[in-house]
Amino acid sequence: MRKLIYAGILFIALLMQSTLLIHYQPLGVIPDLLMIVVICGALLKGSKFGIQLGLTAGFLQDIILGGFGTNIVIKIFVGYLVGNLEGKIFKQQVLIPVLVVFVMTFVHEFLFLLLSEQLIFSISPLWALQTVILPLAVVNAIFTLVIYPVLHVLERRLYY
């Protein structure tokens, strides 16, 4: 049941990301809703669930982008890494996931650049940081403020 619901959420996130958010890009970047869902899910349910979420999210994204592998590897890694925090933080506290998403955006995007050989040789790290990664981290963090509470309420519903 949980897996089915999360699969639905991931799909809706992909839909939003590839339609609405492309037309109305906040701060000129497209927020990575799939990554936010992976991180929030991993924080709530642990690293095993994080890996499963990362696999599904990465798979969906890679299919859309045509390439295969980059997003799966990164999102599994992110899901696993964040999942290790489960049990060590207060789940009621919304600022922790916001902070985690902010930090993990940097990890996620740098890994993406490292794994795309065409990009890594043609852009300077400073430019990437200033025009894409930093605004993206801010926008992702803001979106987490909405997504995390929704998932948190959902988890409580599923549990009881």
Partner 1 sequence: MRLPGERRFWVIIGVIILVITLGAFSLQGIKVKEMHFLESVLYQILRPFQKIVTNVNQSINDYWTLVTNLKKVKLENQDLKKRVDQLELQLVDYNKITLENQRLRKLLAFKELVPYKTVGAHVIGTTPNNWVHNLIIDRGTTDGISAKMPVITYNGALVGHIAEATANTSRVVLITDVNFAVSGRVQKAESRAVGVVRGEAEDQDIVLMDLIPWDAEIEEDDLIVTSGLSENFPMDIPIGKVILVIEKDFGLTQQAEIRPFMSLAPIEEVLIITDF
Residues contacting residue 25 through CB under 8 Å, at least 6 positions apart: none
Q: Are 82 and 39 in contact (CB under 8 A)?
A: yes
Ranges within 100-139 binding partner 1 (CB under 8 A): 109, 112-113, 116, 118-119, 122-124, 127, 132, 136
CB of 116 to partner 1, least distance (A): 7
* CA–CA–CA angle 86, 92, 93 (5° rounding): 85
Residue 29 interacts with partner 1 (CB under 8 A)?
yes
Among 23, 88, 90, 157, binds partner 1 (CB under 8 A): 23
CB of 138 to partner 1, least distance (A): 13
**Quick one: which H or E segment has residue 6?**
helix 2-18
Choices 37-45, 70-78, 94-102, 141-149 (CB under 8 A): range interacting with partner 1: 70-78
Residue 86: count of CB within 10 angstroms of its CB:
18
Residue 145 interacts with partner 1 (CB under 8 A)?
no
Q: Which lies closer to partner 1 via its Cβ, residue 108 or residue 152?
A: 108
Cα 149 from Cα 144, distance rounded (Å): 8
Residue 20 interacts with partner 1 (CB under 8 A)?
yes
